[in-house]
Chain A
Amino acid sequence: MRKYSGLFIVLGIMLVVIIIFAGYYNSFMSLEETVEGRWAEIENNLQRRADLIPNLVASVQGYVSHEAAVFTEIAQARSRLLGAEGVAGKVEASSALDSALGRLLMVVEQYPELKADRRFAELQDELAGTENRLSVARLRYNEAVTTYNARIRRFPGNIIAGLIGLERKDYFQIKEEAREVPRVEFK
């Protein structure tokens, strides 16, 4: 028995290490799942907004057919967003679309008969609602990223995170100039 005790101690330590490792690993995985789930929510809303745009443009088109440049710009920004990938890519494409939409809404301001159009008003509500959902999704995503990043950088989790190659996730940050543009004004 005596000659095996060293072996048992080593095995015991290994077991403890494995259990600790598994605990950290599992918590990292579920935190990462949360981050990805919330990112999916952002993507849903970006997609939702992209789907709204053809309708919005079509309802504006009847009134302001001669403002072709804005429409081309929106169409391009929209297709860029649908083709964009990764957090950084999507953030950039989405703020390009934001500013294109902002320009469209500025054009719309000059057409009172369009602002009185019921269908257009409803589409604007849909757009504002999507923007609001997007900002909620962004908030929740950033919260999840904060938790995740903190967990993988704190001791002793950072050692385990380093071993399995986990990296910090990007926040969804919007540029200042993009922030103010697509708000729909209410009187």
Chain B
Amino acid sequence: MRSLCKDRSGFLAFLLLLALLIVVPAGANADFRRFVTGYVNDHAGLLRPEEERELSALLADLDVQTTNQFIVVTLPGLPPGENLELFALRLAEAAQPGTAERDNGLLLLILSNERKIRVEVGTGLEEKITDGRAGRVIREVLAPAFQKEAYFSGIKEALEVFIHWVEPSYLPEGSAKAAFDFEEEEGPGVLFFLILFLLLTVFSTYTSRYQQRRWYKRGYSQRTMGPVFYPLTGNRNRPSSPFKGFGGGGFRGGNFRGGGGFRGGGASGGW
């Protein structure tokens, strides 16, 4: 109570800050949504109008049939001082492709001047489009096509591969790049190393002075709030996006449903 006056003005400042926090992301959000008005947003001019329409039709149909919302954004470059991964994440958070229940959105961001590519994968698709797979599509599909300036065929093929992984039965026979399923064999050394790491882990656990406390702490938080369960998949604890209330602006055919959580999954690359 000593510094009541000071605290009260502090509280007022806090309220002001809160008001600012509410206003600022909304503004930033509007700024990001400017880039995303449809499934395919070719701000860099890499596609001809009819190519853009064809890709849009493909993605709109995918959305209607399967609820997966994939969006493509091309830009000449990043705004100054932006970092590719963070920019892609914020763009995806603002556009929110995918449903809130399934988080099945995907953003393909292409920067023509910087020759960079980012695939941002929604939380719900991370199992099907792993970071490694996303990276492989960039390296083996997008980059080679873009080097030949075949932007349309590169993007189309990449989208088809993603669709094939997410909804194997969606694409008609033959168009899906089934051959692209890469033999994900385990190397001979894996088992040996797993055992080595396991032994080291067990060893270090037993020598840990804090062993007892560790087991206690895993199950219970420091104060007596009852058991705290950390789910391994972590989806339950996905922080809700601050933009939730603003999502879902309508456009041609489909809506971005204002769901789609992202947490930085995907891959980056270039050509």
Contacts and interface: CB of A to CB of B under 8 A. Distances in A.
B267 interface: yes
Interface stretch (B46-54, B74-82, B128-136, B167-175): B128-136
A132 B239 contact: no
A85 B197 contact: no
B182 A126 contact: no
Contact of B234 (A40, A57, A129): A40
B196 to A, nearest CB: 7
Interface string B133-144: 111100100000
A43 B228 CA distance: 14
> Which of B139, B182, B236, B239 counts the most A-chain CB atoms under 10 A from its CB?
B239
A180 interface: no
B193 A58 contact: yes
B82 to A, nearest CB: 15
A61 to B, nearest CB: 5
A155 B8 contact: yes
Give the size range of B's interface with the partner.
35 or more
B232 interface: yes
Contacts of A121: 135-136, 139
Contact of B197 (A37, A40, A79, A128): A79
A55 B187 CA distance: 8
A41 B234 contact: yes
A112 interface: no
B105 interface: no
Interface string B203-239: 1110010100110010001010100101111101111
Contacts of B89: 136
Given A75-B200, A85-B214, A154-B14, A129 B239 contact: no
Interface in B180-211: 182, 184, 187, 189-190, 192-194, 196-197, 200-201, 203-205, 208, 210
A133 B264 contact: yes
A36 B236 CA distance: 12
Given A75-B196, A154-B10, A186-B269, A137 B132 contact: no
A73 B14 CA distance: 47
A103 interface: no
Given A53-B197, A83-B205, A136-B264, A155 B210 contact: no
Contact of A41 (B4, B197, B263): B263
> Number of contact residues on A: which range applies?
35 or more
A24 to B, nearest CB: 13
A85 B237 contact: no
Nearest to B271: A187
Contacts of A156: 7
Contacts of B130: 126, 129
B127 to A, nearest CB: 12
Contact of B190 (A58, A124, A125, A144): A58
A58 B239 contact: no
Contacts of A130: 131
Considering residues A58, A126, A130, A144, which has the most beta carbons from chain B within 10 angstroms of its beta carbon? A58
A38 B197 contact: no
B246 interface: no
A2 interface: no
Interface in A44-69: 44, 47, 53-55, 57-59, 61-62
Nearest to B214: A85
B131 A58 contact: no
Contacts of A47: 232
Given A129-B134, A155-B8, 6 more contacts: A36-B228, A55-B187, A58-B193, A119-B187, A128-B267, A135-B85
